[in-house]
Amino acid sequence: MRFRSTTGFYFNLFCALSIFSVNLACQKKKEASLLKEQTSITEANSFFNKEVGGPVDSATANRWKRNRALTLAKKAPSVNSTRAFYLPAQALSSLIANNKVAGICFYFGNDANGSVHVVPVAVDNKGNVITAASVATSNGTVTWEVAKNWRLDFKQQHPGSIWGHFWGSVAINRLLENNTETVRVELGLSDEGVQQMMFSDAAIDEPVEYGDRTRSCPPFCPSDLL
């Protein structure tokens, strides 16, 4: 009877340990799955993610451009009074070719003469800029160091302004997929007075829609200009 009792004890203990191991494995698998899901949600809701951006119709975009023109007319000449900036589509396509790139932050930069240009910089989903040997700006290609100095100078000269706009790679690809060669970048003011950056194919004089719905810096900026 003692042998049977001991055998039964070890058998029950083995069963209990087996069940515990299975439950533990299931729990770990569930936790890993939940963590992966939470990470995906966090990245999707991140300020810097590939889905940032969307179209606006031409009527809205043109109204925003008029809003800006009227505002500028009431003020002294603005550093951002340029009507449009132009960027090579191939350079933007190259920036977002890297799968780690969430999108591009289109910064404003001051050159040595104080003129303002648009400086596109690739950004990952954590807000880290991805450095390059050179940067294709709206005023030609310059070295990374020159481009960074332009951006820093604009930030220092205009602490209360918007320093740039982030646009996700999905929206950028949507604009570039129609054999766009040159991207036109225009600024506007929404009806609430918020600066907008709008993108279109420079070969089309009157676009039916513009790429927009960017996110401005500040409040959130890539890490190298914090």
Average pLDDT over the chain, rounded to an integer:
83
Q: What are the residues whose beta carbons fall under 8 Å from the beta carbon of 70, sequence distance 6 or more?
A: none
Q: Are residues 96 and 149 in the same domain?
A: yes
Q: Are residues 148 and 179 in the same domain?
A: yes
Contact of 182 with 87, CB cutoff 8 Å: yes
Q: Are residues 148 and 69 in the same domain?
A: yes
As a whole-number percent, the residues of the chain with pLDDT over 90 amount to 67
pLDDT in tens, 72-93: 887 755 546 678 999 999 999 9
Q: Are residues 58 and 170 in the same domain?
A: yes
**Domain end (from 27, 45, 63):** 45
Domain count, the chain: 2
Q: Are residues 33 and 70 in the same domain?
A: no
Q: How far apart are CA 134 and CA 132, in angstroms?
A: 5
Q: Are residues 6 and 60 in the same domain?
A: no
Cα 138 to Cα 53, 110, 116, 182: the distances in Å are 21, 12, 9, 10
Residue span of the structural domain in which 28 resides: 1-45
The pLDDT assigned to 112 comes to 93
Q: Are residues 68 and 172 in the same domain?
A: yes
Q: Are residues 170 and 186 in the same domain?
A: yes
Q: Are residues 177 and 209 in the same domain?
A: yes
| pLDDT above 80 for 208 | yes
Please compute the mean of the pLDDT values over residues 197-203 and round it to a whole number.
97
Structure confidence at residue 22 as a pLDDT band (50, 70, 90): very low
| pLDDT above 80 for 6 | no
pLDDT in tens, 24-46: 454 444 433 333 333 333 333 47
pLDDT in tens, 54-66: 999 999 999 999 9
pLDDT in tens, 113-150: 999 999 999 999 999 999 999 999 999 999 999 999 99
The pLDDT assigned to 194 comes to 94
Q: How far apart are CA 150 and CA 111, in angstroms?
A: 5
Structure confidence at residue 181 as a pLDDT band (50, 70, 90): very high
Q: Are residues 147 and 207 in the same domain?
A: yes
Q: Is the pTM of this model over 0.85?
A: no
Q: Are residues 129 and 189 in the same domain?
A: yes
- DSSP character at residue 122: E
The pLDDT assigned to 191 comes to 95
Q: Are residues 126 and 221 in the same domain?
A: yes
